Amino acid sequence: MHARSRALALLVVFALCTGPLAPTVFAQEKAPELENLKKQMLQMEEQFRQLQRQIEKLEKQAAPSGAPGQPQAADPALQKKIQEVESKADAALAASKKIFPSQFNPSISLAIDTIGSYKSNAQGFNPGDGTGTRDAGGRINNSRPAGADFNLRTAELFISADVDPFTRAFATINASADAANNDEAALTVEEAAIVTTRLPYNLTIRGGRFFADFGTLVHRHDHDLPFVDRPPSLDVLVGGEGQTNGVEVSWLAPTPFFLRASATVGNKFGSDFRDGVSNLNSRPIKGLTYLGRLQTYFDINDDNNVELGGSIAEAPSAEDVMHTGRFERRLVGMDFKYRWYPLGYGVRQSLTVAGELLHDVGDADPLNGGPRRDVLGNPVRQGAWGGYVYAEYRLSKQWRPGVRFDYFQLQSEPLLVTNPFTGLPASTLNATGHRTDNRTWTAYLTWFPSEFQRLRLQYNRSDRGNAQDANEFFLQWTAFLGSHSHGFSERE
């Protein structure tokens, strides 16, 4: 109520003020909803002035012989007409001053992301590798089984608004069909965070639940990825979206070029129970996950640019829910993005080549819980590598084909002995004589009928360490309702 009356007072100030620029009182107010009203007011003013001119004209016509400045007894019909016009103008002006409570509603958008898929056969690593349950052939299944499937992956509500002159806030609420719950929609708060807007020294603080600042695609929502699926390496090494509950401080360096740094502390990083760590149990200070990221960007020229970044996630002394012992989680990542985007026609023709390289040097044992030890009982680091690289070409405003290659090594490599100098496994061979790894080759084609609708066809071929190849086909259909605007970190 208080805000409403304040806004009303401001409008009155506006009506009195002939200049279109607001007095400083308004300038200090943060009420972007008033922008539109202001515009309407100015239009009304203009209309009012036009009407006044008409009235003056009519008055002159009514009194052609009258001496200037002398009030004339005008034709009563004309006077009635003038009164009518005046009352219409007054009514229009009054109408434009109305304030509706809904004008303070936050901006809302909904993303609907649905996928039809087919997988040629179930896949698993060879016995002795990896985690998961064994199938009849003794293989380890850690991916979706074979067959066809329609999946409403996302019905995601995004809400955001300024809270007050000092902060804004946003939330992403996802209600996707949950196969584990008889396909009933499971409501999850993916993100809900408060962000400062006017801290000094170029600082911004974000607190709550959010996708942590690590790499480039880890903090993207599923439907915002350039592909249907998240690169498998990110799924394995991070655990899906890099969600955390915590606090982040980010800083934009006051340099002539773009340089941004962020530091985050949170409960966990990635999906729940990733390395056994979740939001459920409290932990000592050293059991929290600490993240850092540094990124920069250079324009090679008007049409070519490069973006580089480095990230780290470190939990010095994490513990899983089973309390099977403490371990360290450490994940480092490097990312790059090259873009050719000719200024004159980049909307129709451009190229993006980007990738990330991750190295997990933590010492968690995902198979048995707690820290990993080799046969001699020495602690051993995972030393697993993973990453992806993709290239996407924009053929027109509507069509974008692309290719991707993804590679990861399993973290739960069967261990032999530790190299005493590096702390890494001395041998990376498994039962088949190969390092347990996976390659995925991907080709995809995206069609944008408009900015708010997208269809994507994708083909994946993955090998599960040459244990078993599988072909996967996806057709994704995505639509965005409402005020779908991309933030800085979701830029293309």
Partner 1 sequence: MTLVWRNRLWALAFALALVSSGMARAEEKIYVVTTLPDLADIAARIGGDLVTVESLAKGIEDPHGVPIKPSFLPKLNRAQVVVVMGLEYEHSWIPALLSEARNSKIMKGNIGYIDVSLKVTPKEVPTDLSRAKGELHPAGNPHFNLDPEGGRLIAQTIAEGLALNFPQHRATFEANLKAFLAQLDAKIQEWKVMARPLRGVKFVSYHQDFTYFADRFGMEYVGTIELKPGIEPTAAHLVELVQNMKTEGVKVVIREPHFSEKVPTQIAAQVGGQVVKLPIMVGGVPEVKTYLDLIEYNLRTLLKAAQAAGVTGKV
Q: Per rule CB under 8 A, is residue 29 in the interface with partner 1?
A: yes
The residue within the footprint of partner 1, chosen from 16, 32, 164, 420 (CB under 8 A), is: 32
The answer to whether 67 contacts partner 1 (rule: CB under 8 A) is no
Q: CA 453 to CA 457: how far, in whole Å?
A: 14
CB of 462 to partner 1, least distance (A): 33
**Token pair belonging to 105:** 């509603």
By CB under 8 A, tell whether 100 contacts partner 1: no
Question: 31 burial class (0-12, 13-18, 19+ CB within 10 angstroms)?
Answer: middle
Residues with Cβ within 8 Å of 245's Cβ and at least 6 positions away in sequence, in order, are 208, 209, 266, 267, 268, 279
Member of 70, 255, 282, 301 binding partner 1 (CB under 8 A): 255
Q: Which stretch binds partner 1 (CB under 8 A): 120-128, 140-148, 289-297, 402-410?
A: 289-297
The answer to the question of residue 279 lying near partner 1 (CB under 8 A) is no
C-alpha distances out from residue 417 to 129, 149, 164, 379, 437, Å: 16, 43, 58, 10, 19
Contact 59, 52 (CB under 8 A): no
Q: How far is CA 397 from CA 113, 208, 354, in A?
A: 21, 37, 20
- Does residue 53 interact with partner 1 by CB under 8 A? no
User: Which of 29/224 has CB closer to partner 1?
Assistant: 29
Q: Is 401 exposed, middle or buried (0-12, 13-18, 19+ CB in 10 A)?
A: middle
Decide if residue 486 touches partner 1 (CB under 8 A). yes
**Residue 302 in the binding site for partner 1 (CB under 8 A):** yes
**DSSP bridge pairs for 311:** 293, 333
Residue 393, classed as helix, strand or coil, is strand
18: contact with partner 1 by CB under 8 A: no
* Residue number with CB closer to partner 1 (21 or 67): 21
Residues in the chain: 492
- Residues 345-364 binding partner 1 (CB under 8 A) are 345-348
342: left (phi over 0), alpha (psi -120 to 50) or beta: beta
Token representation of residue 396:
């027109």
The stretch among 52-60, 113-121, 235-243, 291-299 that binds partner 1 (CB under 8 A) is: 291-299
Contact flag: residue 36 with partner 1 (CB under 8 A): yes
Query: Partners of 441 in the beta sheet?
Result: 405, 461
Rounded-to-5 percentages of helix, strand, coil across the chain:
20, 40, 40
The verdict on 253 binding partner 1 (CB under 8 A) reads yes
What is the rounded distance in angstroms from the CA atom of residue 211 to the CA atom of residue 190?
8
- Is there a contact between 285 and 266 (Cβ–Cβ < 8 Å)? no
Q: Return the ∠ at Cα 388 (arms to 382 and 389), rounded to 5°.
A: 150
Q: Is 477 in the site for partner 1 (CB under 8 A)?
A: no
Exactly one of 31, 334, 351, 416 binds partner 1 (CB under 8 A); that residue is 31
Binder among 1, 16, 21, 285 for partner 1 (CB under 8 A)? 21
Stretch that binds partner 1, among 91-99, 223-231, 393-401, 427-435 (CB under 8 A): 393-401
Residues numbered 420-459 forming contacts with partner 1, rule: CB under 8 A: 450-452
Residue selected from 278, 305, 317, 427 as contacting partner 1 according to rule CB under 8 A: 305
Contacting range for partner 1; rule: CB under 8 A; set: 61-69, 86-94, 96-104, 194-202:
194-202
Among 65, 101, 198, 377, the residue binding partner 1 under the rule CB under 8 A is 198
**Among 27-35, 147-155, 417-425, 463-471, the segment contacting partner 1 (CB under 8 A):** 27-35
Q: How far is the CB of 316 from partner 1 (least distance, A)?
A: 9
Site residues for partner 1 per CB under 8 A: 19-21, 24, 26-32, 34-36, 38-39, 42-43, 46, 168, 197-199, 202-204, 251-261, 292, 294, 297-299, 302, 305, 307, 312, 314, 330, 339, 341, 343-348, 396-398, 450-452, 481, 485-488, 491-492
